[in-house]
Amino acid sequence: MLEIHNLHVSVDNKPVLNGVSLTIQPGEVHALMGPNGSGKSTLSNVILGHPKYEVTQGDIKLNGKSILKMAPHERALAGLFLAFQSPHEVTGITLEEFLLAAYRAKQKRLHPDKPPVLVFRFKKMLTELMAKLHMDEKFASRYLNHGFSGGEKKKCEVLQMAILEPCMAILDETDSGLDVDALKSVCDGIKSVRKTATHPMGILVVTHFTRILKYLKPDHVHVMKGGKILKSGGPSFAKELEKNGYENI
Residue 53 is predicted with a pLDDT of 95
In whole angstroms, what is the distance from residue 48 CA to residue 77 CA?
11
- For each of the chain's 249 residues, which pLDDT tens digit applies? 899 999 999 999 999 999 999 999 999 999 999 888 899 999 999 999 999 999 999 999 999 999 999 999 999 999 999 998 888 999 999 999 999 999 999 999 889 999 999 999 999 999 999 998 888 999 999 999 999 998 899 999 999 999 999 999 999 988 888 888 889 989 999 999 999 888 999 999 999 888 899 899 999 999 999 999 999 999 889 888 888 888 777
Instruction: Look up the pTM and report it.
Output: 0.91
- One-character DSSP codes across 167-208: SEEEEESTTTT--HHHHHHHHHHHHHHHHH-SS--EEEEE-S
Nearest partner of 207 among 236, 240, 172, 233, judged by Cα: 172
The full set of domains in the chain, from first to last, is: 2-244 (3.40.50.300)
